[in-house]
Chain A
């Protein structure tokens, strides 16, 4: 960024200070270690260490049936676990050749966009906290709570959701879920009003702008070379979004725009995330409207007809022979997966979340690899913070939306 001025030779014993930022520093929001070489308050060199919470998911997945891997994906990016779950289900469906009904696709879009909002609002409000503005964080938190209540209504859990099944959802959305969604989307009392207020607090706030503009910038070319995806890449000015480039779950039916930035600094990343939340709200409204258009028997569809992979209803298990057989086969993991290799990507909240699944025709994957976006773009962190102040390094880290669980798999 700027020229480094070193103290004259011999003025002090060592010209730079070594500082350990992390692994358990409160400002890093996760388990990250960075060994910084500081000249005064200016960062000369940074060395990142990762892997503190590695849990061997790829190895564990090699002995699990497809549906048992879903809880592993929860624990990647735990701020938006439904997107990971859906990404995994979509990968399985691609391998198995299952096609889902439109209503399932739209319900999935609702859940995924809610998850994207919950992830972005955490990230942006944490950037606010790191610049010294705590109240924005508290304002939006009640709406994350509401999103979690919607998850709870659909799947019964809140953070590590394990939501959905191969082929659809475990149960239909209840009326309470839709009521909560309406409450969330309400223009006057819902999230749009809150987001507007959040933007009023930050977007043109002089202090916030001074702190974030020009902080941790990256050019589009460098960002591409570093493997950036998601909002961080779009803040640098590249309009790559998996939802548009290779639509999944009927994203092609929705009308939305991809916000892009120019400089790729913390301020642009913040603005891109905010705009994406507005776009997500628009997608949510469209999806909810489309869901409401289903009437009669169509409105009861919440899973595809794939008896070999979708667990039958409990009352059928007790009364029907066929359902009992499938129930047993699925639970005991006795269904062979067709052989093949498939790569499927979804637009996670912080980038392209990919699943590379190789099956040799057995009951478990032969090899499963998660393409974890923040593992790949975290490499750029030393370059982003070099030459900046120590306090800028903290903001840069939170505005990159690094999630330790995803980074370390």
Chain B
């Protein structure tokens, strides 16, 4: 049976001090790696017979504007179906140069998810076959889920919304 301690031990043996910030929020093992080694970690988790994390459940980003130099976090959720264990793996990147290696070679499912992450956060996935906007219009020149774009102020009065009953 694969437990969080086993996974942490196995990963620490392989990567040592490169993996940091080990946590277990609500039972899910969470750790952070340097963005340069994200593919190495994913590949190791995929190939290792004991770890066996062969399913990419989810991939998205989070914007932390106050975290200078590492504003964007790309979050991978991986699932081992044999032992039924989930883990969460994060890499942080500078918003000025948001280059992260693409996981599309390992997981076909990463294709749309990385495009969506690019679309909303501007993470530049290096090696992605077709990194273009997916849900927003192609002409958009900003990344809407970043925190510098607040939602419209609901108390504004300069807009004529009579037709919409507001």
Contacts and interface: CB of A to CB of B under 8 A. Distances in A.
Interface of A: 50-51, 54, 56, 58-60, 62-63, 94-95, 222, 224-227, 238, 240, 245-246, 340-343, 345, 352, 354, 356, 358, 366-367, 369, 371, 375-380, 408-409
B75 A59 contact: no
Contact of A379 (B25, B60, B108, B151): B108
A54 B151 contact: no
B108 A54 contact: no
Given A224-B54, A246-B84, A342 B26 contact: yes
Contacts of B55: 224, 227
B112 interface: yes
A11 B114 CA distance: 42
Contact of A63 (B75, B113, B151): B151
Given A227-B109, A342-B26, A352 B57 contact: yes
A273 to B, nearest CB: 21
Contact of A227 (B28, B108, B134, B144): B108
A366 B145 CA distance: 11
Interface in B18-59: 25-26, 28, 30, 54-58
Contact of B136 (A51, A238, A340, A342): A51
B4 interface: no
A99 to B, nearest CB: 14
A238 B13 CA distance: 32
Sorting the interface of chain B by its residue count into under 10, 10 to 19, 20 to 34 or 35 or more gives: 20 to 34
Nearest to A49: B134
B60 A356 contact: yes
A60 B77 contact: no
B136 A371 contact: no
B62 interface: yes
Given A227-B55, A354-B57, A408-B135, A375 B112 contact: yes
Interface in B86-134: 86, 88, 107-109, 111-113, 116, 120, 133-134
A234 to B, nearest CB: 12
Interface of B: 25-26, 28, 30, 54-58, 60, 62-63, 75, 77, 81, 84, 86, 88, 107-109, 111-113, 116, 120, 133-136, 144-145, 149, 151
Contacts of A345: 57
Interface residues of B: mostly helix, strand, loop or mixed?
mixed
Contacts of A95: 26
Contacts of B109: 225-227, 376-377, 379
Of residues A56, A60, A377, which shows the largest number of chain B Cβ atoms within 10 Å of its Cβ?
A: A56
A409 B108 contact: no
Nearest to B154: A63
A379 B57 contact: no
Given A376-B112, A376-B113, A356 B75 contact: yes
Given A50-B135, A227-B107, A343-B77, A245 B84 contact: yes
5 contacts: A54-B135, A54-B136, A56-B144, A224-B54, A227-B108
Nearest to A221: B54
Contacts of A378: 112
Contacts of A342: 25-26
Of residues B57, B75, B77, B113, which shows the largest number of chain A Cβ atoms within 10 Å of its Cβ?
A: B57
B62 A58 contact: no
A379 B62 contact: no
